[in-house]
Chain A
């Protein structure tokens, strides 16, 4: 009996030792290896500064270098990060954040409420105007507690602060920034994220190294290299040769190549960008697009599923709404069915039995092939057009300035909720609406101060229905991009963060042993 107990104890001890050693080994194993990303755009130094974030692109770098009070993480679109917890006052005018203790920046400085206050006041990226118009004061309660006071209730406050809609809540080190200035910070950024800056060749390459003091966990991969490779064939070649482990934006034929290569894996970006067409002249009574039937004819003339197959291997689901279905307050609207006969009938009723010349379809890269596809469908029902490729920046600028005629193939990838997505496109104060309606403006105004969730949802649903009924835009599909993942990668990070385009969180990314 004594011998059996002794053996049992010995056995259990060995098992326990094994389990503990595995766990300790896993938790404490130092980061190792190197991973390379082939990125489809130019890496600008402004992307490395959360104070200047102009769009979703910056988050590709922010998730590595910096950290936010609250941010989208796996399983939680608004996960506590630098803020352990937060609360909203009953009147909706004050938000209190309790900061995580013991967090340090990459230079060893502790992260405190001073840094939070400084970052909130310093922010001048996308959303700064609306944020500053609502912000009354930032109060430091103690080094680990901050209160944000608003001038009026703002139901979207946490969407702006805690999702990739903006980087308002991403924190920079006050002391360091005051030492080096804005330009110095962009040249050598220091943050509180899982990776620290090593070097950069402006516009070409960024090298990062694991920050072992990161509060959430020690990253698995030691070195990350982000390379800007504008040509998609070159990105594909780098993936095939092992020069890159992740290649973004493998569209059309390059996606087919990745799919057909047994060593590579196709991974999708579920960022919920919507691709849609603008009817630039719909407000002009002389234009054919002024007639609702003509705009509806456009919608029936397009085979969205076929375009999705051609461009994204069928990954992008067709939609009838410019708001992604996964967004808060989104109204699910089915895409128009492909019905060219109905399109012709509507054109006939509108007085265009032989179709008409629609002029240019302006389009931005890398989506010219999509615009060509749409032009072919339009031609089939008698609407003649030609694709006019423009550079992305010039296209956005011309759209904002309302200088474009005919049709424009574009879209939106800004994250947030239905309200943040609708605002630039359907409200008279927005950047891009081709036509505005007083009833939509009024509904939008009402929802922006409505704190009752259900009532606000009803108002936003009503707006989306009106946008659809009036065919103000022609939504095609919710863009889901194919990307390539190389054979060394165990966890790429695609699809881990809800509604996020890029790989992340970086500390969860792993190479195979």
Chain B
């Protein structure tokens, strides 16, 4: 078991190193950021001074080593656009993203699981078909379009919710739904297939033969088992929601890290891009690592070697 955990941690570290190298190179191949930071008409000496200030005058391998050393100390450099530490900006925006992600996750679970379970129990009925349409739409419709339609309906026509910004529960409902729908769809499909599998299993058949009521069979025996993969999947998805809300955060002017990443890419503010991508990667790798280790504890079939 210990060896398994060490191996998984090793793979996680390899993933992070590869991610840091990729993002480090990608943000630099688009050109020299010193030119953007300098005033128009700046001389070569001015540009060189900026390169020196930000360490851009050194060869890439040296820049990378220094980048990793600083990163370990929590120093991701200074934002070129904001002129404040990039990590400070990230930490300022993280709570808003976490708040949005939790709401989106709650909505996706509240909507996705019941629909999935009922669709499985009433398989091939009209409810199942409507549920499938809901899931397909959630997966197919781009979240920015969903966001704009929600704004049009609930803000412009019904005047019920504010169209952008943050601060109250009213502000969060639309972005959380726009972000949560796609996850609600995947949770619904997973809950439906897991439930169908459980309903067809021997122990459920046995429960029915024993004469237990259908409600009891579904609620006590089937549901509990069907919900496990959904919740596991939701845990992994949470990290994705926190880091993947770039479009929704931009549409709703939500002050999270998705919008920060959008700004970083727009202004080629590479310290900001680096911190958002690496911290996002770290979050996803950490969640996957925890899930892998927990699975190994729970399910003895997983091979430790």
* Bound Cα distance from A397 to B35, whole angstroms: 6
| Cβ distance A256 to chain B, nearest Cβ, rounded Å | 15
Which listed segment binds A: B119-127, B216-224, B265-273?
B265-273
> Are the CB atoms of A241 and B260 closer together than 8 Å?
no
Nearest chain A CB to B165 CB, angstrom units: 7
Is B164 a contact of A227 with CB atoms below 8 Å? yes
Question: Assuming A234-B163, A243-B163, is B263 touching A42 (CB within 8 A)?
Answer: yes
Chain B residues near A186 (CB, 8 Å)?
A: 83
CB–CB B31/A394 < 8 A: yes
Report the minimal beta-carbon distance from A238 to chain B, rounded to whole angstroms: 5
Binds B, one of A13-21, A120-128, A283-291, A446-454: A120-128
If the complex has contacts A393-B268, A398-B31, A431-B41, are A201 and B164 also in contact, measured as CB distance less than 8 A? no
The answer to whether B39 touches A127 (Cβ under 8 A) is yes
Contact of A431 among B40, B148, B253, B262 (CB under 8 A): B40
Complex CA gap A230/B81 in Å reads 16
- The contact string, 1 if C-beta is below 8 Å from chain A, for chain B 45-81, is 0100000000000000000000000000000000001
Are B162 and A204 in contact, CB atoms less than 8 angstroms apart?
A: no
Q: Which of A389-444 contact B (CB under 8 A)?
A: 391-394, 396-398, 400-401, 403, 414, 423-424, 429-431
Instruction: Kindly report which residue of chain A lies nearest to residue B78, judged by CB atoms.
Output: A183
List, in ascending order, chain B residues with CB within 8 A of A203's CB.
82, 89, 255, 259-260, 263
Contact (Cβ within 8 A) A183 B39: no
Across the A-B interface, give the 10 residue pairs with the lowest CB-CB distance, nearest first.
A237-B163, A204-B255, A397-B31, A393-B268, A229-B253, A126-B39, A237-B151, A393-B267, A231-B251, A234-B164
Among B43, B82, B92, the one with the most A-chain Cβ atoms within 10 Å of its Cβ is B82
From A46, A186, A201, A397, name the one whose CB has the most chain B CB atoms within 10 angstroms.
A397
CB nearest to A55 among chain B residues: B40
With a cutoff of 8 Å between Cβ atoms, the chain A residues found around residue B144 in the complex are: 231
What's the nearest-Cβ distance from chain B to residue A427, in Å?
10
A357-391 with Cβ < 8 A to chain B: 391
- Chain B residue nearest to A431 (CB atoms) is B40
Q: Which residues of B contact A125 (CB under 8 A)?
A: 39
Complex formed: what's the CA distance from A378 to B247 in Å? Answer: 33
Q: Which residues of B contact A392 (CB under 8 A)?
A: 266
User: Please, which residues of chain B bring their CB within 8 A of the CB of A424?
Assistant: 40-41
**8 A-B pairs (CB sep. < 8 Å):** A129-B41, A203-B255, A234-B148, A234-B252, A237-B156, A394-B268, A424-B40, A430-B41
Most buried by B among A38, A127, A231, A429: A231
Which residue from A54, A126, A401 sits with its C-beta under 8 Å from B31?
A401
Q: Cβ of A401: which chain B residues have Cβ within 8 Å of it?
A: 31-32, 35
Bound CA span A431–B36, Å? 12
B interface, CB within 8 angstroms of A:
30-33, 35-36, 39-43, 46, 81-84, 89, 92, 144, 148, 151-152, 155-156, 159, 162-165, 250-253, 255, 259-260, 262-263, 265-268
Residues of chain B within 8 A (CB-CB) of A44 are 81-83
Which residues of chain A are near B251, meaning CB under 8 Å?
231, 233-234
Tell yes or no: A228 within 8 A of B by CB.
yes
Given contacts A129-B46, A397-B36, A429-B41, contact A391 B265 (CB under 8 A): yes
Q: Which residue of A lies closest to B265 (CB)?
A: A391
Residues of B within 8 A of A429 (CB): 41
Q: Which residues of A contact B (CB under 8 A)?
A: 38, 42, 44-46, 54, 124-130, 183, 186, 201-204, 227-231, 233-234, 237-238, 240-241, 243, 391-394, 396-398, 400-401, 403, 414, 423-424, 429-431
**Besides A203-B260, A231-B251, 18 other CB < 8 A contacts?**
A124-B39, A201-B92, A204-B253, A227-B253, A233-B151, A233-B251, A234-B163, A237-B151, A238-B164, A241-B156, A396-B36, A397-B35, A397-B268, A400-B35, A401-B35, A414-B40, A431-B40, A431-B41
On chain A, the residues within 8 Å of B84 by CB distance are: 45, 183, 202
A128: chain B residues within 8 A (beta carbon): 39
Considering the chains assembled together, what is the distance between the CA atoms of A13 and B116 in angstroms?
Answer: 83
Contact status of A391 and B39, CB under 8 A, knowing A204-B255, A397-B32: no
Is B165 a contact partner of A243 (Cβ separation < 8 A)? Answer: yes
Please indicate the chain B residues that have their CB under 8 angstroms from the CB of A396 in the complex.
Answer: 36
Residue of B nearest to A202 (CB): B82
CB neighbours of A400 from chain B (8 A): 35
Contacts of B162 in A (CB 8 A): 241, 243
In angstroms, how far is the closest chain B Cβ from the Cβ of A156?
A: 13
CB of B93 to closest CB in A, whole Å: 9
Taking CB as reference atom, which chain A residue is nearest B252? A234
Are A391 and B40 closer than 8 Å at their CB atoms? no
B175 to chain A, nearest CB (A): 11
> How far in angstroms is the closest Cβ of chain B from A439?
21
Set of chain B residues within 8 Å of A202, measured between Cβ atoms = 82, 84, 89, 92
Q: Which residues of A contact B36 (CB under 8 A)?
A: 393, 396-397
For B267, the chain A residues whose CB sits under 8 A away are 42, 391, 393
Interface centre among B151, B152, B250 (most CB of A within 10 A): B151
Taken together as a complex, chains A and B put the C-alpha atoms of A360 and B286 apart, in Å, by: 42
